[in-house]
Structure 1
Amino acid sequence: MPNTDILRENIVSKTNVDKTIAAKTMRAIVLPEANEDIRLENIELSVPQCSDNELLIKVEYVGLNPLDAQYAKTGFCHWQYPHVLGLDAVGIVVDAPKGLYPNIGARVMWHASMGEHGVLSEYAKAPNYAVSVVPDNIRPEQAATLPCAGMTALISLDKLQIAQGDTLLVEAGAGAVGQIAIQFAKLRGADVFTTAAKCNHKLVKALGADVVFDYKDKKLCEKIRRELGPQGFDAILDSIGGETTARNIELMRFCGRIACLKPLPNFEHELLFRKSPNISIVSLAGAWLANSLCAQQRMSFMSNLLLESLAKGDLVVPEVNLIEFNSEHISAALNKQLAGGFTGKQVVKLNTA
């Protein structure tokens, strides 16, 4: 879309900002209790009350993640019900303490705390140090695809210490995390191998992957060794977990590095002694659950990098699939997250008029 259209939309959004919120209640999508079918409800809640360093934000778009769907089924130990779902959001600041940056009228992007209410509501609050201002030449729905997937990719690459000439395997390269990780790994000079369904090989190649394997191939390990040689991968970004994690350690060089996005399986002791892997766990939720101000601020720095890269054309985001803001449509979208079979990013559009 031409930049003039983006600018026009930004002007309209910011012109409609109410500097004082007259509304006392808001629409929200909640999980009444954890349930296998992900049954959600449309309800009215009070507009959040903000503390001294918090911004009140009118939510425009919410990016859905597999994590939202997983915990909608199982629940999370810190949640009280009914619980507002959603972690990734973009919106307009409508109330802020005087002198606090960013201030009223700014469009911001942020990743919410896993332990508190989420962002599938007309208004949400966020600490000012945990948000990033969205450049005017970025569409807000595209920005909403970035927080969870983008920061997970960046943290993984940092933990893996990816540098020029490293051989890196990115599992599930066509997923949102995989797409972003491939692009940043190439910027760091890595040789990127990835797995994907055959229908997505062209996509991940276009993003920069050097070698692509069909994840359903029964001879996958054999073909990887044939392509890579006997030395094994320097690093692996493992977003699958389970038996795949053990298989990936087998494919690593001695003292190789692996970043895991899922809980670790039980490993055979012989495998760990023989490979001596450097294993890292990646968790965005930990920044909030550990109450680490430094980690929360670092998330904002990473968000800035993601937005700057997108604004400069150095980053391509997953294709956006817009979802209507109601419980039925969002429930279906979350179930689709777990079923898989799609390569874009589902983003809920709120009625911001």
Structure 2
Amino acid sequence: MSTSTPLALFVGMPSPELSENEVAFFKEANPFGLFLFKRNVQNNDQVRRLVAQFREAVGRDNAPVYIDQEGGRVQRLDNGNWPLFRPLGHFGQLAKIDLDLAKHALRQSHLAMGSMMSEMHIGSGTAPVVDLARAGTHAIISSRTFSSDPEIVAVLGRVAIDALLETGSMPIMKHVPGYGRVEVDPHHDLPVVHADVADLMGTDFLPFMRLKDTPWAMVAHLIFTRIDPDLPASISPKVCDLIRNTLGYDGVLTTDCLTMDALSGTWDSRVTAALDAGYDIALHSQGDLSQSEAACKAARPLSEVSLKRIARAEARLGTTRVDVQALHAEVEEIFRESGIA
């Protein structure tokens, strides 16, 4: 087991197994976690081998390996070896018909999805999304959300979070403090929001405040001109302060991937800026070895405060496992009977 403190950083990798050079790099650099994409996953056994390979390299048998697995358009486990999960918006639609039934279906779906990941030793699907789906919200966000109603989002978000925790899958609510008003895709452009903070508190920020006991949260790439007109949220000390002190969030804060085009500057400089802003962990998941090496040089070891937040989060993880196929089939039957395609 490594005795050194891991770097406050997740990195990616290019293929389904680690090369000798990548193993040597991880052993030397000791990034906190590994972030997977579709390119890295083939089947259950391969994923378990990859997780074990990474953990052996960094010398930590609990080193986190995370992936994007929200359901709908964002689920990397989608090559036919795993069931496909419904988008969150379907549960929002069902909630308009029968809220209790929607909560039940959502719980079953997330128990199944969490169990599926935990069986492969994937520690989180970086879900759920608790952004709002407003009239003008860009489809890259709105297609992944529960509803335009912050109360419904908060209620359904709680169900998803609790179910994931129960299965030992770390819930990560995103994207704090909220992508609900973005009109451009942050993967390609920097969104700018001019809304007043008082307005945001009763709308976009509300689900994050209601769910502030969620162990982890992921920070958005956008500018709130009324909070910090100069820096995107993910590298802004002012926004970090708002999340901590105004929204009252004291869990682990990780950035969204810092290689997205919403940000400017070199990728490694963005790592430094995010950690300087006060966030616990920087996410740099592009996967090229030379870029990961640069990111690690720009990072720093996790702080004592961050380590305590991480330990507090891990202590909340359960061990429940369910029959994934049976629960998935139950959810599909609920939607067939409800008439939601």
Same-fold call, TM cutoff 0.5: no
Structure with max Cα Rg: 1
TM-score, length of structure 2 as denominator length: 0.25
TM-score, length of structure 1 as denominator length: 0.25
Q: Which has the higher helix share?
A: 2
